[in-house]
Amino acid sequence: MRVLILTWEFPPKIVGELALYVSRVAAQLVRKNLDLYVVAHDDSRTGLEQRQDGLKVFRVANPVKTHISVLTWDLTLAAEFERASSDIIYSTAKTVSLIDAHEWLCVIPAIALKKAFDIPFVYSVHSIEDQRSRGASSPFNLAITNIERHGCDEAERVLVKSTEMRDELKIRYGVSPNKIDVVQPSSDTWIDDIVKVYEKAIRSPLQDFWRLVEA
């Protein structure tokens, strides 16, 4: 299985817990013999790094340096995520099996890559806008909320860390519980469980349908 992980933070760039979580997941997945690429934002270093542990990290910078909000920052960075990811996909003869997009900031490029290359994607949700903004409903907040909802709709599987988040997505975004997988990092089998989520996404009914059409 060849997997492409999209994340807006990854060590050495650490803003919060996301960077450390994705780093931990990536290291464990490589130990499970997955061929893993991470595409991450980093303005201070760019390009492909092939690490000794087998993980390949492609860092991209935002070409626009001044922004009025995180929305413009995200949308301009999305083009770089798509460019770097497309280079990886073409360099591997279009054999990337799955995209794992972490948080709403990676939803737009994940959907674009899915539609361009017919690659299924998992949306890994760590938080949602209503929680972060405490229910604020400005156009800014609603735009992010709509991106999150769009990610849930387009993803083959939605991956969360708790039953509470599963219930939030069901109530606020109408996501079917059958589409959501709860994998707690404290579980002894959490990496194996993440791999199972990936396998389910690859074998989703929609992907099977398109394979039949192409055949």
Q: What is the mean pLDDT of each run of 10 residues along the chain (215 residues)?
A: 96 94 95 95 92 92 93 95 96 96 97 97 96 86 96 97 96 95 93 96 67 51
Q: pTM for the full model?
A: 0.92
Mode of pairing for the β-strands spanning 47-50 and 56-60: antiparallel
pLDDT reported for residue 189: 94
pLDDT reported for residue 214: 53
pLDDT reported for residue 137: 84
Backbone angles phi, psi at 83, to 5 degrees: -65, -50
pLDDT reported for residue 52: 81
pLDDT reported for residue 120: 96
Which is it for the CA torsion 98, 179, 184, 141, positive or negative? positive
pLDDT reported for residue 206: 55
pLDDT reported for residue 55: 94
pLDDT reported for residue 136: 80
Reported as half-sphere exposure (CB side, CA atoms, 13 A), residue 210 has a value of 11
pLDDT reported for residue 205: 58
